[in-house]
């Protein structure tokens, strides 16, 4: 889009209804000395995206929930075959839920 995440190598805003995701990608310029693709996928659903605030015992959003971990695996398994076999640069994909709608599930947009 060019308006959000200007320091990332690539970014896209995905929207369906009132559900909106920001996906950014950053990759190192030099390949690593490994024989696999070092791909890291991070997916976060902030409480404020749904108009809620964390309460109870855990007041902060520290570690990912089970749902977030499953979405990370879903995105990783969808993206990994799209990279060439000789691509060994460290790559990070960060997906953030910006706003949520009760009718559209955000994991369907992420994967």
In percent, how much of the chain has pLDDT > 70? Answer: 84
Of the candidates 16, 7, 73, the residue with the CA atom closest to the CA atom of residue 41 = 73
Span of 14-18, 50-54, 104-108 with lowest mean pLDDT: 50-54
Would the pLDDT of 49 be above 80? no
For the residues 32-44, what does the mean pLDDT come to?
Answer: 93
67 token code pair: 């749902």
d(CA 13, CA 22): 5
**Rounded mean pLDDT of the chain?**
86
What dotted CATH number matches 10-101? Answer: 3.30.230.70
Q: Would the pLDDT of 7 be above 70?
A: yes
């Amino acid at each position: 889009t060019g308006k959000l995440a200007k320091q990332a190598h690539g970014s896209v805003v995905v929207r369906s209804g009132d559900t909106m995701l920001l996906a950014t990608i950053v990759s190192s310029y030099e390949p690593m000395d490994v024989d696999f693709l070092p791909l890291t996928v991070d997916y976060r659903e902030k409480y404020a995206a749904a108009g809620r605030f964390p309460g109870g015992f855990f007041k902060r959003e520290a570690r990912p929930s089970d749902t977030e971990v499953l979405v990370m695996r879903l995105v990783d398994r969808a993206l990994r075959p799209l990279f060439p076999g000789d691509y060994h640069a460290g790559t990070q994909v960060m997906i953030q839920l910006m706003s949520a709608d009760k009718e559209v599930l955000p994991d369907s947009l992420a994967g």
